[in-house]
Amino acid sequence: MKIALVNTLGNNKNTSYIHHGIAYIIQYANLHNEKVDFIDLRKFSWKEFKAIIKCYDLVGYSVVSTDYYRAIKAISINRKVNSDVTIVVGGIDPSTDSDKYMKNLDIDHVVAGEGEISFFKIIQAKKENKKLEKLILGERIENLDELGFINRDIFPEEKVFPEEKVIIDPLHPPRRRFSIFLSRGCLYNCKYCQPVSKNIFGRKLRVRSPEHVIKEIVYLRNKYGLEYFQFLDDDAFQSKEWITRFISCYKSLNFRVKFMLHVRADNIIKHEDLIRELQELGLIMVFVGFESGSNKMLKEFNKGTTVEKNEHAISILNKYKIQTIGSLMSGFPQETKDDMKLTLNFIKNNNNVLLQIFTYIPYPGTMLFKEYKEKGLLYNIENPDASSWKPKIKGVNYYRVVYLIFKSKFKYSFKPRLWQFLTLISHFFKITIFYISTLFKKFD
Ligand code: B12
Ligand code: SF4
* Beta strands in 323-422, from DSSP E residues, in sequence order: 323-330, 354-359
Model pLDDT, residue 443:
60
Distance from the alpha carbon of residue 293 to the mean position of ligand 1, in angstroms: 26
> Do 374 and 428 reside in the same domain of the chain?
yes
* Ligand 1 centroid from CA 64, angstroms: 6
Answer yes or no: do 33 and 67 share one domain.
yes
Which residue ranges have their beta carbon within 6 Å of ligand 1? 5, 9-12, 15, 17, 19-22, 24-25, 60-62, 64-67, 88-93, 95-96, 111, 114-116, 118-119, 181, 193, 197, 200, 232, 234, 361, 363-364, 386
Instruction: State which of 105, 137, 169 marks the end of a domain.
Output: 137
Q: Are residues 168 and 128 in the same domain?
A: no
How many other β-carbons are positioned within 10 Å of the β-carbon of residue 394?
13
pLDDT of residue 98: 95
Please state the φ and ψ torsions of residue 380, each to the nearest 5 degrees.
Answer: -140, 110
Closest CA to 8 of 91, 112, 122, 98: 91
Binding-site residues, ligand 2, Cβ < 6 A: 186, 188-190, 193-194, 197, 234-235, 264, 289
Please indicate, yes or no, whether residues 260 and 322 belong to a single structural domain of this protein: yes
pLDDT of residue 12: 58
Same-domain check for residues 357 and 433: yes
Q: Are both 127 and 171 inside the same structural domain? A: no
The pLDDT value given to residue 161 = 74
Does residue 44 lie in a domain region?
Answer: yes
Which amino acid, 7?
Answer: N
Per-residue pLDDT of the chain (444 residues; tens, 9 = 90+): 999 999 998 755 666 788 999 999 999 999 999 999 999 998 889 999 999 999 999 999 999 998 999 999 999 999 999 999 999 999 999 999 999 999 999 999 999 999 999 999 999 999 999 999 999 999 999 999 999 999 999 987 777 777 777 787 877 877 788 999 999 999 999 999 999 999 999 999 999 999 999 999 999 999 999 999 999 999 999 999 999 999 999 999 989 999 999 999 999 999 999 999 999 999 999 999 999 999 999 999 999 999 999 999 999 999 999 999 999 999 999 999 999 999 999 999 998 999 999 999 999 999 999 999 999 999 977 777 888 899 999 999 999 999 999 888 766 545 567 788 899 999 999 999 999 998 877 665
Q: Are residues 266 and 380 in the same domain?
A: yes
At 374 the pLDDT is 95
Question: What is the number of the ligand closest to the CA of 190?
Answer: 2
Number of domains composing the chain: 2
CA atoms within 13 A on the CB side of 211: 2
Same domain, 323 and 396: yes
Residue 38 lies inside a defined structural domain of this protein: yes
Pocket test for ligand 2, best of 182, 184, 235 (most atoms within 8 A of CB): 235
Specify the DSSP class assigned to residue 245. Answer: H
Protein residue closest via CA to atom 57 of ligand 1: 234
Whether residue 398 contacts residue 360, with contact meaning beta carbons closer than 8 Å, is answered with no
The pLDDT value recorded for residue 173 is 78
Does 152 fall in a domain?
no
CA of 21 to the centre of ligand 1 (A): 8
Q: Are residues 117 and 41 in the same domain?
A: yes
Residue 25 lies in a domain: yes
Residue 153 lies in a domain: no
| Beta-sheet pairing, 183-184 with 206-207 | antiparallel
**189 and 129 within one domain:** no
Domain final residue, candidates 137, 168, 191: 137
Is there a domain that residue 154 lies in?
Answer: no
Ligand 2: which of 183, 188, 298 to mutate, most ligand atoms within 8 Å of CB? 188
- In this structure, is residue 115 part of a structural domain? yes
- CA 159 to CA 156: how far, in whole Å? 8
Q: How far is the CA of 416 from the centre of ligand 1 (A)?
A: 32
What CATH number is attached to the domain comprising 188? 3.80.30.20
**pLDDT score of 240:** 93
CATH of the domain at 68: 3.40.50.280
Measured at the CA of 386, the angle between CA 380 and CA 391, to 5 degrees, comes to 50
Kindly give, in sequence order, each residue whose CB lies less than 8 Å from that of residue 210, ignoring residues fewer than 6 positions away. Answer: 242, 245, 246, 249, 250
Q: Of 104, 137, 170, which one is at a domain's C-terminal end?
A: 137
How far does the centroid of ligand 1 lie from the alpha carbon of residue 92, in Å? 6
Q: What is the pLDDT of residue 442?
A: 65
Q: What is the pLDDT of residue 317?
A: 98
Ligand nearest to the CA of 27: 1
- Is residue 148 in some structural domain? no
The ligand minimizing its distance to the Cα of 364 is: 1
Domain that holds residue 322: 159-442
Determine the pLDDT at residue 74. Answer: 97
Claim to verify: residue 104 and residue 234 sit in the same structural domain? no
DSSP 174-224: -S--EEE--EE------TTTTTHHHHHH-SS-EE--HHHHHHHHHHHHHHH
Q: Are residues 98 and 176 in the same domain?
A: no
**Ramachandran category for residue 60: left, alpha or beta (phi over 0 → left; psi -120 to 50 → alpha):** beta
